A and B are shown apart, each in its own frame.
Chain A
Amino acid sequence: MTGLERYAAPQSLDEALGILQQGEVTILAGGTDLMPQTKAGRIAFKPTLMNIGRVAGLKGVTLDGGHLRIAALTTISELLRDPLVAQHAPVLAEACDHFASDQIRNAGTLGGNINNASPAGDTLVPLIVLDAEVELASKPNGSVSTRRMPLAEFFTGPGRTKRAGNELLTAVRIPLPKPGHVARFYKFGTRPALDISTISIGIAGIKRDGALTDTRVAFGAVAPTPVRAPRTEAALEGRRLDSDAIEAAAGAARDEVNPIDDVRASAWYRKELIHNMTKRMLDHVAQA
């Protein structure tokens, strides 16, 4: 029925990377995406199913130099109540509060939400505007090596990323916010719980003298991947957040996204949402 030949539940990163090095592997963490996707036939099992839930050291939030480091198996519930996340990345905690339901937050992991690579993944837009990078480990020549990549560059399509077959996403790193840093997240859905975003918006930057610099804008559910919005960012960068600047940025946002019609909304409606909600969020940033 399936092409499954082997099940493995490694206890250490070294062991897990060794298994990944041997061939085609489906990785299981919380299972909340993998179970329905495999059951519906949208994803086929590779010959090895590897459950990483028992790998030591892949859980928890720590400070690592100038970064907040979130290990991949940290669940959405754990992020929601973590004091370091509340202090240094409150916009991520806010996104976790809009995430599915308590039962799914208790099971789903941050690494899983990233690797599932849904254009509507709830944590992805806030992580992108926080300049998060992913840490990918592999063991190509018998010893563990690690590379890092900005999350904004990680996604290549729905369900597809730049993670190589022999790599494991071990952590997410977020630079600690500089003074004046502001970040906002907005998710539109028809009910608060268990809804997949119709659109989502993240905005961040350093606010000084009424203007944003280091501006980051990202959108979810308007393209095959979550996307940065460079023209919207350029319309805001360094400009005083008056009504002209805000309207120009909201207009740039509407022109910049290219959503599809689907069961959740028409493309037209999504573009209007992006315009109106970007404007509202920038009004709030200006007044804050």
Chain B
Amino acid sequence: MLLKHDIEFTLNGVTKRLTVDVTMNALDLLRDVVGLTGTKYGCGEGECGACTIRVDGETRNSCLMFAVDFDGRDIVTIEGLAADPKADALRESFVEHGAVQCGFCTPGMVMQASHILDAHPDADAETIKRGLEGNLCRCTGYKKIVDAVESACCGGR
């Protein structure tokens, strides 16, 4: 028997009321229950960052979070960021710099990059690399990703 609990939270600006299995992780809730599949399952243990989301403004690995802990919180996923005009520069910069290859790490990279830029609007390459240390990419070798974030951060300086 699975123990269930009712939760209410804000998802990309919209209030959601759901009943969840208390042992379910937040990534499964987003992908399998809500149907938002932009957030990716990479490793399932917090090593790769593909499942990065914003929880009350801070980035977290959704695979390490209990879905029931969404209760009362403000959640933003890559779908929410995609609809946010403030993220236009970042998204365009990823395209311009060719920072996307297979694309699997990209939602997590963009979510974490947006968090870095909020905390450090003038971030240099070193700060960006430290900030992205919890996000793995197996295609690009990171240079184009770091270039994209650096360029977006200073409005393409």
A residues in contact (CB < 8 Å) with B: 1-2, 4-7, 9, 28, 30-32, 34-36, 38-39, 45, 49, 51, 53-54, 77, 100-104, 106-107, 192-194
Cβ of B102 within 8 Å of any chain A Cβ, yes or no, is no
> Which residue of the partner chain, among A4, A31, A36, contacts B69 with CB atoms under 8 Å?
A31
If A101-B49, A102-B115, A103-B46 touch, whether A51 touches B134 (CB-CB below 8 Å) is no
Stretch binding the partner chain, chosen from B9-17, B52-60, B79-87: B52-60
Cβ of B22 within 8 Å of any chain A Cβ, yes or no, is yes
Please tell me if the beta carbons of A9 and B46 are within 8 angstroms of each other in the complex: no
Task: Return chain A residues, CB-CB under 8 Å to B72.
Answer: 54
> Which residue of the partner chain, among B22, B52, B59, contacts A49 with CB atoms under 8 Å?
B22
Interface size on B, residues (CB 8 A): 34
Q: What is the CB-to-nearest-CB distance from B31 to chain A, in angstroms, rounded to a whole number?
A: 16
Task: Return chain B residues, CB-CB under 8 Å to A77.
Answer: 58
Task: Return chain B residues, CB-CB under 8 Å to A53.
Answer: 69
Please tell me if the beta carbons of B23 and A2 are within 8 angstroms of each other in the complex: yes
Please report the C-alpha to C-alpha distance between residue A172 and residue B9 in the assembled complex, in whole angstroms: 32
Q: How many A-B residue pairs have CB under 8 A?
A: 93
> Which residue of the partner chain, among B65, B71, B116, B135, contacts A9 with CB atoms under 8 Å?
B71
Task: Return chain A residues, CB-CB under 8 Å to B59.
Answer: 102-103, 106
If A4-B23, A53-B69 touch, whether A107 touches B3 (CB-CB below 8 Å) is no
Determine which residue in A4, A34, A38, A106 has the highest number of CB atoms from chain B within 10 A of its CB, and name it.
Answer: A106
Cβ of B117 within 8 Å of any chain A Cβ, yes or no, is no
Please tell me if the beta carbons of A4 and B60 are within 8 angstroms of each other in the complex: no
Please tell me if the beta carbons of A193 and B23 are within 8 angstroms of each other in the complex: no
Please tell me if the beta carbons of A193 and B134 are within 8 angstroms of each other in the complex: yes
Q: Which 6 A-B pairs have the closest CB atoms?
A: A101-B134, A193-B133, A106-B58, A4-B3, A7-B22, A32-B64
Which residues B120-134 have CB closer than 8 A to chain A? 130-131, 133-134
Cβ of B137 within 8 Å of any chain A Cβ, yes or no, is no
Task: Return chain A residues, CB-CB under 8 Å to B66.
Answer: 28, 31, 34-35, 51
If A28-B69, A31-B64, A35-B65 touch, whether A104 touches B46 (CB-CB below 8 Å) is yes
Q: What is the CB-to-nearest-CB distance from A187 to chain B, in angstroms, rounded to a whole number?
A: 14
> Which residue of the partner chain, among A32, A51, A106, contacts B68 with CB atoms under 8 Å?
A51
Cβ of B99 within 8 Å of any chain A Cβ, yes or no, is no
Which residues B126-154 have CB closer than 8 A to chain A? 130-131, 133-135
Task: Return chain B residues, CB-CB under 8 Å to A104.
Answer: 46, 61, 64, 134
> Which residue of the partner chain, among B2, B25, B44, B61, contacts A103 with CB atoms under 8 Å?
B61
Task: Return chain A residues, CB-CB under 8 Å to B47.
Answer: 194
> Which residue of the partner chain, among B5, B44, B61, B112, contacts A32 with CB atoms under 8 Å?
B61
Query: Known contacts A30-B64, A35-B65, A102-B134; can you find 5 more A-B pairs with CB under 8 A?
Result: A7-B3, A49-B22, A51-B68, A51-B69, A102-B116
Pick 8 A–B contacts, CB within 8 A, sort by A.
A4-B22, A5-B3, A51-B69, A102-B115, A102-B134, A103-B61, A103-B134, A107-B65
Task: Return chain B residues, CB-CB under 8 Å to A45.
Answer: 23
> Which residue of the partner chain, among B5, B63, B133, contacts A35 with CB atoms under 8 Å?
B63
Please report the C-alpha to C-alpha distance between residue A102 and residue B52 in the assembled complex, in whole angstroms: 10
Q: What is the CB-to-nearest-CB distance from B8 to chain A, in angstroms, rounded to a whole number?
A: 12
If A9-B71, A31-B65, A51-B66 touch, whether A100 touches B23 (CB-CB below 8 Å) is no
Please report the C-alpha to C-alpha distance between residue A71 and residue B2 in the assembled complex, in whole angstroms: 33
Task: Return chain A residues, CB-CB under 8 Å to B134.
Answer: 100-104, 193-194
Cβ of B45 within 8 Å of any chain A Cβ, yes or no, is yes
